[in-house]
Structure 1
Amino acid sequence: MELFAELSVLIVIATVVAVIMRLLRQPLIIGHILTGLIVGPIVLDLVHSVETLALLGEIGIAILLFTVGLHLNPQIIQRFGRVSLITGLGQVTFTSVVGYLVCLALGFDSLTSFYIAVALSFSSTIIIMKLIADKGDLDVLYAKIAIGFLLVQDLIAVMLLLGVPLFSSSNLSFSTVIVFLLSGVVLIAFVILASRFFISRANTFISESHEFLLLFAIAWGIGIAALFQFFGFSLESGALIAGIALASLPARHEISARLMPLRDFFIVMFFIFLGSQMQLGDISNLIPTAIGLSLLVLIGNPIILMIIMGLLGYRKKTSLQTGFTVAQISEFSLILVALALSLGHVEQSVLSLVTLVGLITIFGSTYLVMYSDQIYTMLAPALGMFERKGAHEPRLKRENYTVVLFGCNRIGYDFLESFVRMGERFLVVDHDPETIRALTEGGVAAEFGDAGDPDFLESIDLSKAELVISTIPDNETNHLIYKAAKAANPRSIVMVVAHRVADALAHYEEGIDYVILPHFLGGQHAAELVVKFKTDRTKYEALRGKHIQHLQLRIAIGHEHPRLPRRSL
């Protein structure tokens, strides 16, 4: 079969399998690997241009890591929360240690055990962001924590990809390590300086033409990757550094958006290549080991993260939901082991094993994340061990509050200012220990607790509350708050937040007094401004200045406007 016809058949089969994955609501990465299995020697044996497919896959890896680097703005490190750093570093460390010991017990040598263990410790930012967005949980606490520590994992992966080629040296010594490190520093410095003093100044020229911007981005990303490979580093590390170097450019979002279709096409070839290299004998022999390692990821990783978050003071529901976000391995895991294979550090069977683990864990974790609320309801009685005993018991001394606010997020912050101006005695309830600590230090009456826990709601005296507001975008939680508030004081006014019209109407039918739909409310507010100010530029300028000050304050306290991620693998 000619190369063009071969690629055409691969794309058609990949599309058919992708349709099935969409119907099953599974990440497309599973479909791409299954496509590789179908077109490989196990089923149809259609892949004969192996070198071409491998080359297309390498281009896909380079573009994928380049776009990942574009979103790793060095300035964002300053905004890492303590929780993200501790959970990210802690989970990777503990999973790697446990995974290493398990692999040694299974008979793997030390180097192979190291690669498998590290591969098991990384979770997929792309898949988790997609699942959280589909579930509508981007504003929920567990999602914010997960996105933070996944970014920490990505940075750890960057350092690993830089360091792995060092171990391929046959005469490894102290001087070799020093030369390697110095070479890396010089290369990275060259790329950063080139982007800072040349590309940033030519940003306007580069951005004037969309076609030239795309061509420049491809040339920069693949060119730097090739440069790193020439000097003995991995092309993967070069592509990441190339992206990070451009992460501060104003045009980074447009570059990422324009590369997305190209990235998706080539990365499909990479995953198809992975699947096509798996042999029937490998799969049958590796299935028991793959299942065991998959259970370590699906069960062990969440438990490790729940223990860490419990020690940090988080409630069991937040810990469980966050734990489920690390119940799969990452595309970085596959890339890392593929790199190890190319360097001769591991055998093909190891890559097949990790690929099988990827299929199992990505499939399983999808349902864990999507149905985490229902799973929590079933497991709640047994999860008490993951909460720090006595750390968040309700205070014995309570005062009568006329206003109670559940959730001090972006919307809740505006309510706080209003309560102060009103002169009302108010209480803030939140399930983020960091938020409670900041509020308490600021002199605000604050209570740590999970509003989704009926027992906790009963412990709060709502009998004097005349106004109860929930900014928590969860229907079941808002239902519980409404029931608790009305049971304690039938005359209380209850306001909640919803993100869908159907949810808002359901809340009204239930009896809730007012439902906040943030996006609709924002449009109404802007329309009222137009009616009020008409075409008076002076008033708009004054409002603009106040708005800029308000936004700068929001940035200072870590608030960001919600943004849905683009659909991806």
Structure 2
Amino acid sequence: MLFLPQLIKLKPLAAIINKSGHGELLVLLGILIPFGGAWLFSSVGLKPDLGALILGILLSGHPKAKELSNAMLSFKDMFLVGFFLTIGLSGLPNLETLGISIIFIIALPIKVMLFYWLLTRFKLRARTGTLSSLNLANYSEFGLIVGAAGIANGWISSEWMVVFALALSISFIIASPLNIHAQALYTRWQKRLVVFESKKHLPEDEPIELGEAEVLVLGMGRTGTEVYNVMKNKYKQLVLGIDSSMSTIKNHLSDDLNVIHGDVTDIEFWQRVKPNSRIRLLILATSNHSTHMQVINGLEKMNQKIMVASLSRYSDEMEELKQAGVEVVFNLYAEAGLGYAEHIFQSFNQSVNNEK
């Protein structure tokens, strides 16, 4: 047990992960690592699942940890389906279990209202509280895990697992359409919901000052950062980057980039922008098509007359953006190929000139 952190410190597993590539070997390694941790802890009389958990935590800081997590995601889904199947085989629903599960479903509106009240007490805005509350409306599948543990320890009877499964399934059926139309529901009930907001807001919810910026770049990832740099060479300090990730904002601020934190898909973002804004161009530089469409719809509702340029990955998305009024639409893959070819051409010309 005490020797394990030293093994990680010497990074033997990190070296193996680095050499595992990006395909099947990485997936195989993702299966072997938790089993290895479980065996190690079991051999010294500790719980094996604790060993798998600790080994995963120790490797979480590895550069390929996220890639490994994504590679193992399908296995997680498969095991989750298997878990649900075992629950389904544990018993069949009857009128009694259905009636008890309906009682749990009746409590859903109370749950949503309590979440909304709690979130607004923590100075979150009405929109954030509404979307978060609706997102938390359904019962969690972790309740089934707790229920399974209760049955295994003899705390509750197996019939309760059927009740939990029914309540969970029905809550998902109800919550799904609510989350799909959450933004529309908030827009409809906005005036009544804002009454419950706290008088004091969080710093990120204060009025937004865009300064002298004339160009906004939404999405400061790799593509957005390159767009920002090119536009900055043209407009100097009149370019402003916006991103919803605080970690991304902090990284760019350390590089002296002119960026702010904000969610442009939020219609209240534009309401919080000070009216003396000089914005002429909005560049949508994310890879999320639904985000782009939400921004465009938000601009239309706020009657913001701004020229919009957008990136897109597929031809049908490009057509939808054009129909929505986007003046300039670029295909992400085509533009990447164009930039790659231009880079090769410049390097080749330089090599030829050096030979001369």
Range into which the TM-score falls when normalised by the shorter chain? 0.5 to 0.7
Work out which of the residue numbers 293, 308, 332 in structure 1 matches 2:104.
Answer: 293
One-letter amino acid matched to 1:484: N
**1:522 to 1:341, Cα distance in 2 relative to 1, 3 A:** same
2:133 aligns with: 323
- Which residues of structure 2 form unaligned runs of 5+? none
The separation in 1 between residues aligned to 2:333 and 2:310, in whole angstroms, is 14
Counterpart check, 1:270 vs 2:83: yes
Counterpart check, 1:203 vs 2:16: yes
One-letter amino acid matched to 2:281: L
Q: Is the 8 A contact 2:91 2:162 kept in 1?
A: yes
Aligned ranges 1:482-521 → 2 under 5 Å: 484-486=303-305, 493-498=307-312, 500-521=314-335
Secondary structure, in 3 states, of the residue corresponding to 2:303? Answer: helix
The separation in 2 between residues aligned to 1:474 and 1:307, in whole angstroms, is 31
* Higher percent of residues as helix: 1
Q: How far apart are 1:400 and its partner, in Å?
A: 7.7
**1:255 to 1:454, Cα distance in 2 relative to 1, 3 A:** closer
Q: Is the 8 A contact 1:220 1:242 kept in 2?
A: yes
One-letter amino acid matched to 1:531: F
2:216 aligns with: 405
Q: How far apart are 1:276 and its partner, in Å?
A: 1.5
Deviations 1:293-329 (A, max 9, x none): 345557625752674367354x433443333333334
% same residue: 20
The separation in 2 between residues aligned to 1:459 and 1:198, in whole angstroms, is 49
One-letter amino acid matched to 2:309: M
2:34 aligns with: 221
Counterpart check, 1:338 vs 2:153: no
The separation in 2 between residues aligned to 1:448 and 1:213, in whole angstroms, is 36
The separation in 1 between residues aligned to 2:285 and 2:45, in whole angstroms, is 53
One-letter amino acid matched to 2:131: Q
Greater shift in the superposed pair: 345-354 or 242-251? 242-251
Greater shift in the superposed pair: 254-263 or 340-349? 254-263
Secondary structure, in 3 states, of the residue corresponding to 2:131? Answer: helix
Deviations 1:33-70 (A, max 9, x none): xxxxxxxxxxxxxxxxxxxxxxxxxxxxxxxxxxxxxx
**1:324 to 1:522, Cα distance in 2 relative to 1, 3 A:** farther
2:281 aligns with: 467
Secondary structure, in 3 states, of the residue corresponding to 1:389? Answer: coil
The separation in 1 between residues aligned to 2:26 and 2:82, in whole angstroms, is 24
**1:390 to 1:264, Cα distance in 2 relative to 1, 3 A:** closer
1:358 aligns with: 168
Q: How far apart are 1:464 and its partner, in Å?
A: 4.6
Secondary structure, in 3 states, of the residue corresponding to 1:484? Answer: coil
| Aligned Cα root-mean-square deviation (Å) | 5.0
The separation in 2 between residues aligned to 1:303 and 1:295, in whole angstroms, is 14
1:529 aligns with: 343
One-letter amino acid matched to 1:337: G
Normalising by structure 1, we get a TM-score of 0.46
Q: How far apart are 1:346 and its partner, in Å?
A: 3.3
One-letter amino acid matched to 1:367: P
- Which residues of structure 1 form unaligned runs of 5+? 1-185, 487-491, 539-569
**1:509 to 1:255, Cα distance in 2 relative to 1, 3 A:** closer
One-letter amino acid matched to 1:371: H
The separation in 2 between residues aligned to 1:310 and 1:497, in whole angstroms, is 38
The separation in 2 between residues aligned to 1:261 and 1:451, in whole angstroms, is 30
**1:244 to 1:336, Cα distance in 2 relative to 1, 3 A:** farther
Work out which of the residue numbers 295, 300, 319 in structure 2 matches 1:477.
Answer: 295
The separation in 1 between residues aligned to 2:252 and 2:194, in whole angstroms, is 26
Normalising by structure 2, we get a TM-score of 0.68
Q: Is the 8 A contact 1:298 1:365 kept in 2?
A: no
Q: Is the 8 A contact 2:244 2:263 kept in 1?
A: yes
The separation in 2 between residues aligned to 1:214 and 1:429, in whole angstroms, is 36
Q: How far apart are 1:292 and its partner, in Å?
A: 3.7
The separation in 1 between residues aligned to 2:26 and 2:308, in whole angstroms, is 51
Deviations 1:381-430 (A, max 9, x none): 332145443645647xx898460526454255555555654335456677
The separation in 2 between residues aligned to 1:221 and 1:374, in whole angstroms, is 44
